[in-house]
A and B are shown apart, each in its own frame.
Chain A
């Protein structure tokens, strides 16, 4: 068994009280702690009770964007971020240790139509721009790219129930959609969770505008992926998510179930009474909305991941996002999954 699977075996998923970060946040080595801008104490929907700054929030996002950009750039071109997009920023103080990318099967996605290739190119271009933009906004405070393991898709697929063996997101367009599906809804929730954490000073500096603007772009991407999966299932004659005619909707829903089991602690749609994540997809507190395969025009599709009562998008806090990208529900984990050496973030250690 792949050692990276071990975290999935941990079934000790206790559903915990609000949040996250807690004391361990402050104890973690501060890769990005060089800012005194808008220091805030954690609050609702946030990342814990430890102190963090607006720059910590942006750097948290930058870690995710490094990952997404690498995944999509390989899918589009067979190559990753350029040296210029990962080099130490001007004025960076301290030791700049850039991570490495474990490429695995990464290559241009096979067998795409020109329209499909243009979609992959678009998402790659936009995620690449997010890396560039956040690095520019952070300036000398931008953290290095952490080590990224793009071969983690295989172990992750084996952790699905039922397991999907030999999964390679670059093998076909449909496999690519599943690979992208792992990230996009999470990106939306991560920005939705992060935006309210930005301080008043940060709002005046435009940081909230950045976060909200990138949130929207991630939601456009997520909509694309979910629309493509739903539309392809319908057009290929699938009658259920698991139809042999197009099984990928079912696999996407398995991904949701796995993410739900990893979204430790409370979450939900902000501003509503939906404040608890029970972990199970389809339960009242879940932040996952399984795709369906409508058989009639009067049946609602499930493109949008939002709460059923108010149609408000979900949020995850920084800890929950880390649990997902590490592929671990375990508390106290500092690395794993897509980030074999952890993220370069003060939030890098998972908490309850």
Chain B
């Protein structure tokens, strides 16, 4: 097996494209040292810690889509949401058994509801995604039971301007609620990150059923991401084609924050010419041995092997907190900023 492993490693290192992350990178280090046993040894985290990390992300995503599609937060019963499949009593965000400091309902105003008039397809996508992300919250709460964390304090208002200000070029007045096109960019911010987070987490899970569920949710997040990137990439609506360059700058920002989240480790090569996030700009490809073809970039995956990227929890935290997880080459805990004003609600030893 050493031969196969060596070949695989060569493939990874020589091509320098795969970002194996988290356990992946730990496993990689283990292989280099000549053993595979220690891959998980350094990790004291439980499946519940990992699922709670995911739950924190789902609280964020679900609230964004509920606000945009229904003009309410996930805990509020809303006729339109219920008609589309939301639970009649709203989605719980805290309870006597939930762990952590409840952050309360997300602050918003009715004006945050996006005007999808005349935009049936995009509105329908927003509605579908809201319902599905809400179900992810419910599913994870159910799977975690009394270990589930409460919804942390989440900022989905001024956070967008903070995020916009960090883009190049800066967009300090950005609001995803201002139009259907801006809504797509807000969705773009989250969905690819969800894919990388579940991908990074998959290898950390120890219970087979949890892995199956994580793989299933990974798939759904990738469908969502594919939906958003397809809409941005293929529309002929000038309001939407005008968002492509911003989507590219969002990818660039995420790549930079992700790279910083590696805390100086070079085990997984991410650099400015080899980012772990690619915006929806067409690229040249070789097909059937022939050069000269142009490809869209719907799929956020590496250019050599077409494998989706994975990120570890520090990388994800650094993205969703706008750099709050890293100080130089040192991890900051709790990571906070942008969407998570006080950081995530982790379990006792969880990721934060």
Contact = CB atoms under 8 A, between A and B. Distances in A.
Which of A55, A235, A270 has the most chain B CB atoms closer than 10 A to its own CB?
Answer: A270
B220 A212 contact: no
Contacts of B332: none
A215 B7 CA distance: 22
B85 A300 contact: yes
A133 B228 CA distance: 27
A223 B229 CA distance: 10
Interface of A: 35-37, 43-45, 55, 73, 76-77, 79-82, 84, 114-115, 117-119, 121-122, 124-130, 132-133, 136-139, 141, 188, 191-192, 195-196, 201, 203-206, 208-210, 212-224, 226-228, 230-231, 234-235, 269-272, 294-306, 308-315
Contacts of A296: 120, 123-124
Residue of A204, A210, A222, A302 ringed by the most chain B CB atoms within 10 A: A204
Contacts of B99: none
Given A136-B7, A217-B222, A304-B132, A313 B216 contact: yes
A295 B121 CA distance: 8
23 contacts: A44-B212, A45-B212, A122-B295, A125-B285, A125-B293, A132-B305, A133-B306, A136-B11, A139-B4, A205-B31, A209-B20, A216-B222, A217-B222, A219-B219, A220-B308, A224-B298, A227-B226, A230-B121, A269-B216, A270-B213, A298-B124, A310-B135, A315-B215
A195 B215 contact: yes
Point out which of B85, B136, B287, B300 has the most chain A C-beta atoms below 10 A from its C-beta.
B287
B202 A208 contact: yes
B223 interface: yes
Contacts of A204: 27, 30-31, 36-37, 39
A143 to B, nearest CB: 14
A270 B214 CA distance: 9
Q: Name the residue among A35, A192, A209 with the largest chain B CB count within 10 angstroms.
A: A209
Interface string B74-103: 000000100111000000000000000000
Interface string B209-236: 1111101111111111111011101100
Contacts of A234: 120-121, 124
Contact of B212 (A55, A132, A271, A301): A271
A341 B34 CA distance: 41
B166 interface: no
A209 B85 CA distance: 33
Given A195-B202, A208-B202, A227-B226, A313 B209 contact: no
B120 A295 contact: yes
A342 B233 CA distance: 38
Contacts of A222: 223, 226
Top 6 nearest A-B pairs by Cβ distance? Answer: A297-B123, A223-B226, A271-B213, A270-B212, A313-B219, A219-B222
Interface string B53-83: 0000000000000000100000000001001
Interface of B: 1, 3-5, 7-8, 11-12, 20-21, 23-24, 27-28, 30-31, 36-37, 39, 69, 80, 83-85, 116-117, 119-128, 131-133, 135-136, 138-139, 143, 195, 198-199, 202-203, 208-213, 215-227, 229-231, 233-234, 282, 285-290, 293-301, 304-310
Contacts of B229: 220
B223 A304 contact: yes
Q: Determine the main DSSP class of A at the interface with B.
A: helix
B226 A220 contact: yes
Contact of B116 (A45, A297, A304): A297
Most buried by B among A139, A269, A313: A313
Nearest to A295: B120
A124 B131 contact: no
A323 to B, nearest CB: 21
B139 A312 contact: yes
A304 B224 contact: yes
Contacts of B83: 298
A273 to B, nearest CB: 10
B167 to A, nearest CB: 23
Given A139-B4, A220-B298, A295-B120, A196 B131 contact: no
Given A270-B209, A304-B220, 13 more contacts: A79-B287, A126-B301, A138-B4, A191-B215, A201-B36, A206-B20, A215-B218, A221-B299, A227-B125, A234-B120, A269-B216, A297-B126, A310-B139
Nearest to A230: B121
B128 A298 contact: no
Given A300-B85, A311-B131, A209 B288 contact: no
Contact of A81 (B12, B124, B288): B288
B120 A294 contact: yes
B216 A212 contact: no
Given A80-B288, A196-B211, A203-B203, A209 B219 contact: no
Contact of B135 (A125, A219, A295, A309): A309
A217 B301 contact: yes
A271 B51 CA distance: 13
Given A204-B30, A223-B230, A313-B215, A133 B282 contact: no
Contacts of B304: 129, 133
A84 B310 CA distance: 29
